[in-house]
Structure 1
Amino acid sequence: MPGCKLNLSTIFFLVILQGAAVVLFCGWYAQLNLSSFVRSDNKVHVLLLSSWRSGSSFLGQVFSQHPSVFYLMEPAWHVWTKLQKTGAPAHRMAVSDLLQSVFQCDFSVMEAYLPEKHSVSSLFMWSQSRALCSPPACPLTPRNEFSNQTQCLKACKGTSLKGVEEACGTYSHVVLKEVRFFELESLYPLLQDQNLDLRIIHLVRDPRAVLRSREESAKAFRIDNAVVLDQRNVPAGEVQYQVLQEICRSHMRINERAILKPPPFLKGRYKMVRYEDMAHDPLGEIFSMYEFVGLEMTRQMEDWIYNKTHGKGKGSKKEAFKITSRNAVEVSQAWRTMLPYSKVKRIQEVCKEAMSLLGYKMVNSEKEQKRLDIDLLVPQEPYQFTPIQEDRISSV
């Protein structure tokens, strides 16, 4: 029939249209499959993994003060305090379970470790969290402003755990800082949990600098030292060295597992950071960490980071657990002028393998130790950012 004739141009147009429809359908279908794998709220969970006196409190504040972050400092402290008569291995599953719940803004598991009448002030170092000093947890600090710990302690101590949970649910990133993990294996359930998008930032520090810092606050670590040493009787003069030996070994285990033999679910989800690199290039290192976890660097955060790392001096003993404005480079080098070479030599013996793996050079004399023009850092290869989303798509 004459009315049914189609010219060549019309047929070509229909073929193109059909092809476009197929492409759109395939894209929609792929997106549908992906959405069933990725959480609908796209919340990111970050574990800042470190050890005592390694700069983790400062790193915690780098995240805590960010307006998109709900931050909590060392929830595992509650487990270690409650079960302090045992060793670290006995705590692993309890700590892992605790973090798994807290990452999902479920604080009911905390009640087993808190007094019967509890509030936000029952949580360890709670006022270090800007989110717990801001709405909806507390009206004190607008969410786009930096918190004041002294004011927060007075104004926000009555918030209930339900209020903490409500606040947690309103942020795109939940960040926990921990110094009580000695291996990655106990984190495997969290890494495999489909409800968590977990990234691990592993902060390490020169063990010689750690020793100097720990000596300034030795009494504060008595209980933790006993747990690390599995309640063994150790001569007083050897405690610090044996504790640091365990810490150095743990850094090696964690790094080797993540870099040399990573299970598939760990790929693209681990980043090691050296404190010394962060001290020399704060903005560059922190920008890289923000990129790794999907946070935007703000002008306010840039100014805050600069001010905190370009102050004067190394800080006093009274400020050991406070985030004050200091000269970050001077802090990182303080051990070289303040620690006796005999102690430096001893710590190099017990942490030799870890120092080699993590890129810290040995000193062979007191003279070499005190020559600050000698760089003791082995250059690290630039971090190659691999979007986790791509890894996940390829594994679906």
Structure 2
Amino acid sequence: MWLPVSGTSVVFICFLAQLRSSYSPQEKKPAQVHILILSSWRSGSSFTGQLFSQHPDVFYLMEPAWHVWTSMYRNKAKALQMAARDLIRSVFLCDMSVFDAYMSTQRNKSDLFQWEASRALCSPPACDHFQRNHIISKTACKTLCGKYPFSKVEEACKTYSHTVIKEVRFFDLTVLYPLLIDPSLNLKIIHLVRDPRAVFHSREKTLTALMYDSNIVVGPQNNQGERGPYNVMQEICKSHIRIYTEGSQALLSFLKGRYMLVRYEDIVSDPLAKAAQIYKFAELHFTPKLQVWVYNITHGKGLGTQAFDIGSRDAVNVSQAWRKNLPFQKIAKLQNVCKDAMDLLGYRLVMSEEEQKDMALNLLFTLSLLPSPRNS
């Protein structure tokens, strides 16, 4: 499925290409590597973020643009993207003064959203209770490392070779093009997607927690009643189409080698191989200690009990839980609003409850065999 590019988009793309060519080809890339994980809520992004957070060479932050949304909540998602982009650019450059616009000047490290999800903020110089090469849980970090000053965030950031940010608050890639051509950044994009049916099933368990964000995504009037969750999913699915189509544009030379599509289901089906591929893209070494951790975290028991926490669980069962628990009537409605995204990203539709419950039926198409967005 190819989506036509508008005239406005063509002009913008040509402008970016001209701007990119104005920089000297001899200009060296920054020594630091910057990775942006683009995803949506309940898509396995917390787990994928931890693949980076637990790496001893990575400074990781989980959803810093949360501060933009909570401070400017009367705006719609599209209007907030530029402010979010400017914030993550500053974070990539380890300039944490950007948070002055969204947080009290009298703040501790613990005032940063989901700070305890960052191993870098739980080890020196941000915290003295653990070492950089330790695998650190959120609970232990939150207990011991919360009372350090906010200045430790910037201090820690400057000591790492890689800065990784996970975000769920971008809905197209074009708003990020200025960062991709910015000579002060060495940015790569990991676009993480998950079967929309699994996302929908997971969101049903966390509707209250996600209500605030969902209202910004579609507007409060479109997030009400039985139709509300489907309206949100429709916008999320459309955003994945846009990001994948924009990220795969062969015409944009500055995207070559800097965009990677990852399906959560591919991670959980072969965690070690997929993690190795992701680390290679990010120019990181997959250490033996991390290999053991990845195996253990994806081969535990059960489905996990905390919606936004990462613990050892059976990752394959987690990814397939919707097939056992979600009523087919809801699946049919969801497939209706997300069909284009599912076709594009390689998720097979189920046409009956029998197909849904048939666990021998593989619902994933091989990603390498998917048609490109320009030719499908």
Q: How does the TM-score come out when normalised to structure 1?
A: 0.85
Identify the residue that residue 131 of structure 1 maps to in structure 2. 120
Which residue identity lines up with residue 216 of structure 2 in the other structure? V
Residue 119 in 1 paired to residue 119 in 2? Answer: no
**How far 1:152 sits from its partner (Å)?**
1.7
Q: Which has the higher contact order (CA 8 A, sep 6+)?
A: 2
Partners of 1:96 and 1:187 within 8 A in 2: yes
Q: 5 Å matches for 1:221-240?
A: 221-240=210-229
Q: Secondary structure at the match of 2:94?
A: coil
Which residue identity lines up with residue 366 of structure 1 in the other structure? E
Identify the residue that residue 332 of structure 2 maps to in structure 1. 345
Q: Secondary structure at the match of 2:37?
A: strand
Q: Secondary structure at the match of 2:126?
A: coil
Partners of 1:228 and 1:243 within 8 A in 2: yes
**How far 1:294 sits from its partner (Å)?**
0.3
Which residue identity lines up with residue 360 of structure 2 in the other structure? D
Which residue identity lines up with residue 312 of structure 2 in the other structure? S
Which residue identity lines up with residue 38 of structure 1 in the other structure? K
Partners of 2:222 and 2:228 within 8 A in 1: no
CA distance in 2, matches of 1:234, 1:161: 36
Identify the residue that residue 200 of structure 1 maps to in structure 2. 189
Deviation string for 1:196-253 (max 9, x for gaps)?
Answer: 1001000000000001000111100111011000343443111110000000000000
CA distance in 2, matches of 1:94, 1:258: 21
Deviation string for 1:166-218 (max 9, x for gaps)?
Answer: 11011110000001100001111111110110010000000000010001111
Deviation string for 1:299-339 (max 9, x for gaps)?
Answer: 110000000000112223xx111111111111111100100
Identify the residue that residue 13 of structure 1 maps to in structure 2. none
Q: 5 Å matches for 1:19-38?
A: 36-38=27-29
Q: 2:301 aligns with which of 312, 332, 335?
A: 312
Q: 5 Å matches for 1:43-122?
A: 43-122=32-111
Identify the residue that residue 323 of structure 1 maps to in structure 2. 310
Return 5+ residue gaps in structure 2 as ranges. 1-23, 371-376
Identify the residue that residue 27 of structure 1 maps to in structure 2. none
CA distance in 1, matches of 2:139, 2:223: 39
**How far 1:163 sits from its partner (Å)?**
1.6
Identify the residue that residue 370 of structure 1 maps to in structure 2. 357
Identify the residue that residue 321 of structure 2 maps to in structure 1. 334
Q: How does the TM-score come out when normalised to structure 2?
A: 0.90
**How far 1:92 sits from its partner (Å)?**
1.2
CA distance in 1, matches of 2:222, 2:362: 38
The 3 A distance-change label for structure 1 pair 184 and 293 is same
Partners of 1:86 and 1:230 within 8 A in 2: no
Which residue identity lines up with residue 282 of structure 1 in the other structure? P
Residue 272 in 1 paired to residue 258 in 2? Answer: no
**How far 1:286 sits from its partner (Å)?**
0.8
CA distance in 2, matches of 1:160, 1:146: 23
CA distance in 2, matches of 1:121, 1:111: 15
**How far 1:291 sits from its partner (Å)?**
0.3
Q: Secondary structure at the match of 1:66?
A: coil
Which residue identity lines up with residue 191 of structure 2 in the other structure? H
**How far 1:258 sits from its partner (Å)?**
1.1
Q: 2:275 aligns with which of 286, 289, 309?
A: 286
Return 5+ residue gaps in structure 1 as ranges. 1-32, 384-396
Which residue identity lines up with residue 329 of structure 1 in the other structure? V
Which residue identity lines up with residue 55 of structure 1 in the other structure? G
**How far 1:356 sits from its partner (Å)?**
0.1
Partners of 2:217 and 2:235 within 8 A in 1: yes
Residue 143 in 1 paired to residue 143 in 2? Answer: no
Q: Secondary structure at the match of 1:47?
A: strand
**How far 1:35 sits from its partner (Å)?**
6.3
- Aligned positions, number: 347
State the structure with more CA Rg: 1
Q: Secondary structure at the match of 2:61?
A: strand
Q: Secondary structure at the match of 1:232?
A: helix
**How far 1:63 sits from its partner (Å)?**
0.4
Mean Cα deviation higher: 143-152 or 257-266: 257-266
Identify the residue that residue 20 of structure 2 maps to in structure 1. none
CA distance in 2, matches of 1:380, 1:192: 28
Q: Secondary structure at the match of 1:61?
A: helix
Partners of 1:86 and 1:231 within 8 A in 2: no
Deviation string for 1:260-279 (max 9, x for gaps)?
Answer: 45522111100000011111
CA distance in 2, matches of 1:204, 1:262: 23
Question: Kindly, what percent of the aligned residue pairs are identical?
Answer: 52
CA distance in 2, matches of 1:35, 1:135: 36
CA distance in 1, matches of 2:151, 2:211: 33
Which residue identity lines up with residue 37 of structure 1 in the other structure? K
CA distance in 2, matches of 1:183, 1:339: 29
Q: Secondary structure at the match of 1:333?
A: helix
CA distance in 2, matches of 1:151, 1:49: 27
Mean Cα deviation higher: 225-234 or 49-58: 225-234
Q: Secondary structure at the match of 1:163?
A: helix
Deviation string for 1:135-183 (max 9, x for gaps)?
Answer: 0111111011111322321322222232211110111100000011000
Q: 2:168 aligns with which of 175, 179, 189?
A: 179
